[in-house]
Amino acid sequence: MMFPFTAIVGQEALKTGLIVNVIDPGVGGLLVMGEKGTAKSTAIRSLADLLPAMTAVAGCPYRCAPRPQGDGPHCDCPACADPAGATVPVRMRVVELPLGITEDRLIGTIDIEEALQSGRKRFERGLLAEANRNFLYVDEVNLLEDHIVDLLLDSAAMGRNTVEREGISVSHPARFILVGSMNPEEGELRPQFLDRFGLAVRVAGLSDKEGRLQILRRRMAFDADPAGFAKGWEREQQALADRIATARDRLPGVTVPEDILDRIVAITASLALDGHRADIVMVRAARALAAFRGMAEAGVEEVRDIAGFALMHRQRRQPFEEMGAGAGRLDQILADTLT
């Protein structure tokens, strides 16, 4: 039994960051910065638990969407090739990437047992295959080995995993929502990795007594009777699930007015950013947020609400300056641009 997403106290930034990614996976993932014990992992798992099932091609090892739905690239498995193939509902899962993972396990490799038993090549799928159409969660992503991060981000950017090793050539879809957590005190990510995460949010424990008390009470109630507790939140859970589903349907029709684009580029121009990821992410995230709020177009409010998430980890910094140290300047720019 999963702690209900809607019963999580506070952490609005984290929740918004996740929901926006679920509505539009093109936002490009979420980096969660903060101390341990701030419900990061719980929030992701419980959100995945709440989401309605997706449709997948029956028997496809990568859970590809049936072709007419067009959801991204397909694999070359026989099930996907069959236009009359059956479909099955699948739930979105959280696939966790362990810190000590090897390259083989991540991208997949030859099935060595099969090779020795029968002398035949067979591809043993890796974690990236499992992650397709799921969340890929990396706890303490800053402690991951650099070359593993390189491989991970390469696939995340391409939406595909291409394997060329031991005489095997395989390419399969690997579209996932990458969620990384890190405690900045334990070492940073290289700036170029940071840039690859669509959004970043900072989480902190609640400091007020009321909030702490509420967390404690809900947790105790859940531990004492998980099913009963979940039942008490059923309506909220269903309402959120419906709202997300509606937002996804509405997303393609949500527009971003010209003046909003102007404001977005004015913000990134004032920050003198070299790359353009922040601009694109801001548009997509603002649009997803507008869809979630039931609006037909993204407005200044939406940009204001997500700008910090899109920019915190991309601002130029002095060496050793903490991430978010330029928050004052950013606030000023936002205030100037979004009035």
277 is catalytic: yes
Query: Is residue 264 involved in binding another protein (CB under 8 A)?
Result: yes
CB 109 within 8 A of CB 126: yes
Q: Which stretch binds another protein (CB under 8 A): 85-93, 134-142, 186-194, 240-248?
A: 186-194
Q: How is residue 142 annotated by DSSP?
A: G
Please give the size of the binding site for another protein, defined by CB under 8 A: 50
The three-point CA angle 281-286-290 to 5° equals 150
Report how far residue 204's alpha carbon sits from residue 194's, in angstroms, rounded to the nearest whole number. 19
Task: Determine the distance from the C-alpha atom of residue 325 to the mean position of all C-alpha atoms in its chain, rounded to a whole number.
Answer: 24
Binding mask 23-42 for another protein (x = CB under 8 A): --------------------
- Indicate whether 58 belongs to the interface with another protein (CB under 8 A): no
**Cα–Cα dist 46/35, whole Å:** 19
Residues 67, 105, 277, 317: which is the catalytic one? 277
Interface pattern 66-105 for another protein (x via CB under 8 A): -------------------------------------x--
The contact pattern for another protein, residues 296-325, with x = CB under 8 A and - = no contact, is --------------------x-xxx-----
Q: Based on CB atoms, which residue is closest to another protein, 63 or 196?
A: 196
Q: Comparing C-alpha atoms, which of 182, 196, 205, 154 is closest to residue 323?
A: 182
- Degrees to nearest 5, angle at CA 49 with 288 and 155: 60
Query: In this chain, which of 196, 202, 218, 313 binds another protein, going by CB under 8 A?
Result: 196
Interface with another protein, residue 227, by CB under 8 A: no
What's the length of the chain?
Answer: 339
DSSP run (H or E) holding 88: strand 87-90
Secondary structure (3-state) at 22:
helix
Residues that bind another protein (CB under 8 A): 103, 107, 110, 112, 115-121, 146-147, 150-151, 154, 157, 162-167, 187-188, 190, 192, 195-196, 261-262, 264-266, 268-269, 272-280, 283, 316, 318-320
Q: Catalytic residue numbers?
A: 277
